[in-house]
A and B are shown apart, each in its own frame.
Chain A
Amino acid sequence: MSIRVAKTGNEAVAEGMRQINPDVVAAYPITPQTEIVQIFSSFVANGKVDTEFVTVESEHSAMSATVGASSAGARAMTATSANGLALMWEIVYIAASMRLPIVMPVVNRALSGPINIHCDHSDTMGARDAGWVQIFSENAQEAYDNLLQAVRIAEDKNVLLPVMVTMDGFIISHAMEVMHLLEDEKVRKWVGEYVPENPLLDVDNPVTVGPLDLYDWNMEHKRQQAEAMIQAKPVILEVAKDYAKLSGREYGLFEEYMLDDAEIAIVVLGSTAGTAKEVVKALRADGVKAGLLKVRVFRPFPAREIAAALGGKKAIAVMDRSDSFNAVSGPVFAEVRSAMYGVENAPKIVDYIYGIGGRDVTMDHIKSVYDDLAKIVKTGQVERALTYLGIRE
């Protein structure tokens, strides 16, 4: 039986980390992730874990030490937000190219500047090409569930890639909700023992990690990295299946909410999906065939599956909680529209950039998006390909 509790997202993730009991955690505090570090510190201080906890002097060193620990053969974790992730940047890429199964919760926060501590996805979207598996969460329950699954995904021998598990800053990280934790023993058994390949600490079989890799082999190694990301997709689904057996909660690459017979739909990531589902319910009550697709796994991007799920719809709105500043669209739109290219009777697709710097997103805002879609279906015309939702202009 699982344990019903009231937890914030940060508490839920810290509990998950306690249950995983990693060999090493190296982390640095940053709002809104700070609580994870604090709570985990108290677990260390009170013997709830026997993790070696490295209180580094920056996020750059957090990721550097995590890379060192993971290369050494440890199950290693860190956590961060926004500017912290940006400071790690260089090593975020190195962690992926070294094929280290590091798991990192990222509490989404607007990347400076202007400085802002509230939620948007500019931090993790900026890292979308870093070679990490990226899993987004709608609420504390999902953040917890995704964290546990991330360990198994990262350490799968066909993957061996680092995994970022995200949750929306404050909206999820600091809001209390009722959720279910699994029992400690169950989690430890399910996550299992980490068996590293070629660890540095195997001094009888010395390996050189992180060598200079020039034009002779670099491209082959990057190709292998790309292959690992391709292989990650079936592994994510297998792990989700196995996790469903453990928890009763099922996950896919994305969630379809009243999407099957929908004519208009929005594509959304993170906590806004919860708000949007309420809008869909209300619209359905009014006879509007509205639906929703919530992307859970952004990397690897499930292009083919999304195309199949959205094919045949009449109009789609992609909700982007960050901007690409490419004078075209946000990043999620670019991926989704690209996925839809060549799909027969492809729907009209428009982009909404919303919720930047923590700007509140209400049901009315989302209703207005569905209204726009309905209008597109009615007129067959797209007036605006990109809308900044709720902006004062």
Chain B
Amino acid sequence: MATLKELSNKEILVTPGHRACAGCGFPIIIKQALLAADNPVVVGCATGCMEVCTTIYPYTAWKVPFIHNAFENSAATVSGVEAAYQSLKRRGKIDKKIDFIAFGGDGGTYDIGFQSLSGAMERGHDMLYICYDNQAYMNTGIQRSSATPRGANTTTSPAGSESYGKKQYRKDLTEVMVAHGIPYVAQGSPAMWNDLVSKVNKGLAVEGPAFMAVIQPCVLGWKYPADQTIELAKLAVDTCFWPLYEIVDGEYKLTYRPKEKKPLVDFLRKQDRFRHLFKPENEHIIAELQAEVDRKWDALLAKCGEQA
């Protein structure tokens, strides 16, 4: 694990001047992820905020080789890049060690890119897939995805007189990726830079595929003041809404345990996407959401061999 001082001496491989919103979480995630790499990195990215904001021709924010192909195929595209690398290395045309990272938002990962991701992981490409999970289709204007939490108000799961927002619980993609039997799976948060950087480092170091889901607060979609991104990324962790853990060769390990598990309302109250839940008629939803967080947290503790 590199120290903050060591990391601060490394070159930042994504430049300022990109077009992400003030307070956006994904540039922080990219910056931390690229700092974690020991080798040259080639990056792929799904269509979405990250691609749109960092690459408007003739400009690019990327100081590493970067490829965007389409929305649903970040994993398949990078699997092709990695296959080319294996081939050209075998044929003596490349001798450098190169790492590969595929990025995708939650829409491009949990939903439309799910098959492409599953295929690439099953085939065993030596790559790290990082989902920046902002919990809705933010680039098209906050539509619900299968990563959107229950109760969230989005433009396609709006709260209204007959609706408390999204009805379904979010898909637990991290567990789905664990079921792929790949060597490394983890959840991260940009609020915990040391945890995130060391996980990316491990994900790149393992031979074969690795997957990380990183929570990414979104100012516009979650509806909070732009200076609270890191605070929300921390609250997600401290409420155990977004636990930090990793699975190395099938072994679960909790990488951070909050000293005090905060109530979920602390996380919900700061975001206007959940504001309607605080109406009296919806309060039972908050209780249900808390119960679900508790259930999943306890199950995770058991898997990690931790005391409840």
Q: Which A residues lie at the B interface, using CB under 8 A?
A: 23-24, 26, 50-52, 54-58, 60-61, 64-74, 76, 90-91, 94, 200-203, 206-214, 216-217
- For the complex, is B42 an interface residue (Cβ under 8 Å from A)? yes
Contacts of B44 in A (CB 8 A): 68
* The one of B56, B70, B79 that contacts A211, using a Cβ cutoff of 8 Å: B56
Contacts of B96 in A (CB 8 A): 203
* The one of A26, A76, A208 that contacts B62, using a Cβ cutoff of 8 Å: A208
Could you say which interface size class chain B belongs to? 35 or more
Cα A212 to Cα B90 in complex, Å, equals 33
Contact B79 A65 (CB under 8 A): yes
Cα A65 to Cα B115 in complex, Å, equals 13
B61 to chain A, nearest CB (A): 9
* The one of B56, B64, B82 that contacts A206, using a Cβ cutoff of 8 Å: B64
Contact A54 B123 (CB under 8 A): yes
Contacts of A208 in B (CB 8 A): 55, 60, 62, 65-67
B262 to chain A, nearest CB (A): 39
Contacts of B80 in A (CB 8 A): 24, 26, 54, 64-72, 76
Closest to A206 in B: B65
Contact B57 A216 (CB under 8 A): yes
Contacts of B66 in A (CB 8 A): 200, 206-209
* The one of B84, B98, B120 that contacts A69, using a Cβ cutoff of 8 Å: B84
User: Provided the pairs A200-B65, A211-B60 are in contact, do residues A61 and B76 lie with their beta carbons within 8 angstroms?
Assistant: yes
Contact A203 B98 (CB under 8 A): yes
Cα A72 to Cα B42 in complex, Å, equals 9
Contact B40 A203 (CB under 8 A): yes
A41 to chain B, nearest CB (A): 14
Cα A71 to Cα B41 in complex, Å, equals 15
* The one of A50, A72, A207 that contacts B84, using a Cβ cutoff of 8 Å: A72
Closest to A200 in B: B65
* The one of B56, B67, B118 that contacts A209, using a Cβ cutoff of 8 Å: B67
Contact A54 B83 (CB under 8 A): yes
Cα A66 to Cα B84 in complex, Å, equals 9
CB proximity to A under 8 Å, residues B65-109: 65-70, 72-73, 76-88, 90-91, 94, 96, 98
Contact A203 B65 (CB under 8 A): yes
- For the complex, is B122 an interface residue (Cβ under 8 Å from A)? yes
Cα A61 to Cα B67 in complex, Å, equals 15
Between-chain CB contacts (< 8 Å), 14 pairs: A23-B87, A52-B83, A52-B90, A56-B79, A61-B120, A64-B70, A65-B83, A67-B77, A91-B69, A200-B65, A203-B40, A203-B98, A206-B64, A208-B60
* The one of B67, B73, B78, B91 that contacts A50, using a Cβ cutoff of 8 Å: B91
User: Provided the pairs A210-B67, A210-B68 are in contact, do residues A69 and B76 lie with their beta carbons within 8 angstroms?
Assistant: no
B10 to chain A, nearest CB (A): 16
Contact B65 A201 (CB under 8 A): yes
Contact B85 A72 (CB under 8 A): yes
A101 to chain B, nearest CB (A): 13
A61 to chain B, nearest CB (A): 4
Cα A357 to Cα B63 in complex, Å, equals 51
User: Provided the pairs A60-B73, A65-B79 are in contact, do residues A74 and B84 lie with their beta carbons within 8 angstroms?
Assistant: yes
Contacts of B55 in A (CB 8 A): 208, 210-212
Contact B58 A201 (CB under 8 A): no
Cα A54 to Cα B72 in complex, Å, equals 18
Contact A51 B87 (CB under 8 A): yes
Contacts of B56 in A (CB 8 A): 211-214
Contact B69 A94 (CB under 8 A): yes
